[in-house]
Structure 1
Amino acid sequence: MPAPQTASRSLDTRPALGHVNLMVDTFIANANADDLRSIVRNLLATNPPHFAHAFTTAARSRLRQTTARASINPYALFVRQSSHTGAPAGPTPHLHDVLTRARSLYGAGMGFTSLNILASIVRASVGLRWDDDDGDLAALLAVIDADIGQAIQASGISSSSVGPGPDPPGDVRRLLMVDDDARFIPIQSSKEEIEGGRVNDDDFGTARAIVDDLRKAVKESMADVAAWGGEFPFERAASSLDHWKI
């Protein structure tokens, strides 16, 4: 008589993969965004590092799917200043959505994809005018400058040989939607994409093209702002790009 084949099953207590517990899925489907953020942060902070690695790997997989379907209209990012009504230049809701996507990408370690988006934003800002009284637009451009620094390297340093700079000021941190107790440390970034082996030989050409395009966009902005005597808003990005070789 053949031996019973039930022992191996009874010893295998690993959970089945590919499904979420019904009650947990019900909670996820109905919880608000703030609660989910708090829960995820707590899980990442109280578990071993490999847990965060698995989380960002899953995040990148999801973002690759959604980014492939997303599109950016560079002409819909800013409202141009009006010479007829005197209305100042400013951002559009589309810009907010695009910035949110860029931050999700570099936060998950997809720095080059994020830089591609940020280059479009910098180029779209060429031709805008602002003055000392227009603090909102100047502050927003400063945040975008910080975004570029974060995408290049999450601590905002321009090169490993230059050393870390100060954390972004409080207003920038708030606009980036970063918790007050969050630390800016050099983890997910374009540099880490290379150092972590996530950019293979076939991708290096694309990565260089993205960085070169961002450099051109920053230089276009610098020339435009100099022409009308404004204060160049992307100093941090320009400094980072000057020291970054890939």
Structure 2
Amino acid sequence: MPALEITPRAVDFRPALGHVNLMVDTFIANASVEDLRSIVRNLLATGPPGIAPAFTNSARSRLRQTSAKAMGSAFAFFEHQPHTGSITPTQHLYDTLTRARLLYGAGMGFSSLGLLASIVRATLGLQWEEDDEMEDILAIVDADIGQAIQSSKEEIDGGRVGDIASAREAVHDLRCAVNSSMADVEGWGGEFPFERASSSIQYWKV
């Protein structure tokens, strides 16, 4: 009697994606912010060439879902200290800067310009002393505007600007805010805090 022919059972060595995804999601839910930042940076630096564009595309999609163009009240960016008479930034200002950085960092520079213009406009009518906290934070805002403008230029070069009219309006709004600030500061003899922003936007045509 001939021996029975036994066909080896096909074994699928691929991971069970549902199980792996569940474990990864558990890790993400419990990892610290610093751990996640380190992992993402390492993944973007060492991963395949397409991973960075995929990451920024996903980031932009998420930001659009969470109201990328939402703007807060300009009146809450700064407050007067009754005992010293000085002007200090509020938490709302820092939150707005964080939002702007998320936008221009993900390649949505034009969406961040309105937020930054609202901060610049909120300084109109305010006065501050040299070398105080207000001067320091406005220097940071100036640097953020420069980064946002660079992000906007890359957005144009990448062909990601869907509404060029809105983009031009955002640039015009920021330019007007910066120019108004310059005139306001000159009026009370202060040092204009947005020199880099002014230089970057003066001759920028969209």
**Equivalence map 1:124-139=2 (5 Å):** 124-134=122-132, 136-139=133-136
Structure 1: how far apart are the matches of 2:69 and 2:189? Answer: 39
Alpha-carbon spacing, 1:194–1:15, altered in 2? closer, same or farther (3 Å): farther
Measured after TM superposition, the shift of residue 132 of structure 1 is: 1.9
Is the contact between residue 142 and residue 234 of structure 1 (CA under 8 Å) also seen in structure 2?
yes
1:94 corresponds in structure 2 to 92
Identity %: 64
Equivalent-residue separation in structure 2 for 1:101 and 1:228 (angstroms):
31
Say what the alpha-carbon RMSD is for the aligned residues.
2.4
Post-superposition Cα deviations, 1:177-235, rounded to whole Å, max 9, x if no partner, equal: xxxxxxxxxxxx101111111113xx010000000000000011001100110000000
Measure how far apart 1:87 and its partner are. 2.7
Q: Is the 8 A contact 1:115 1:210 kept in 2?
A: yes
The match for 2:4 is none
2:177 aligned partner, one-letter code? A
The equivalent residue for 2:168 is: 208
Q: Does structure 2 conserve the Cα–Cα contact (< 8 Å) formed by 1:81 and 1:128? A: no
Residues 68 and 111 of structure 2 are in contact (CA less than 8 Å); yes or no, is this contact kept in structure 1? no
Q: Is the 8 A contact 1:77 1:94 kept in 2?
A: yes
Cα 1:241–1:20 shift into 2, 3 Å: farther
Partner of 1:192: 154
2:102 matched to which residue of 1? 104
**Could you tell me which residue of structure 2 aligns to residue 41 of structure 1?**
41
CA separation in 2, counterparts of 1:69 and 1:140? 23
Matching residue of 1:25: 25
Q: Size of the alignment, in residue pairs?
A: 197
Residues 60 and 37 of structure 1: is their aligned pair in 2 closer, same or farther, counting only changes over 3 Å? same
Contact 2:68 2:103 in 1 (8 A): no
Match of 1:233 among 181, 190, 193: 193
Runs of 4+ with deviation above 4 angstroms:
13-17
Pair 1:128–1:151, CA change in 2 (3 A): same
Deviates more, 1:119-128 or 1:224-233: 119-128
Higher helix share: 2
Query: Highest Rg: 1 or 2?
Result: 2
Contact residue 71 and residue 115 of structure 2 kept, 8 A: no
Contact residue 80 and residue 128 of structure 1 kept, 8 A:
no
The answer for unaligned runs of 5 or more in structure 1 is 1-9, 154-188
Please tell me the residue identity of whatever aligns with 2:25: D
| TM-score of the two chains, using structure 2 as the length reference | 0.88
Q: Which amino acid aligns with 2:147?
A: Q
- Give the unaligned 5+ runs of structure 2: 1-10
The partner residue of 1:144 within 141, 144, 166 is 141
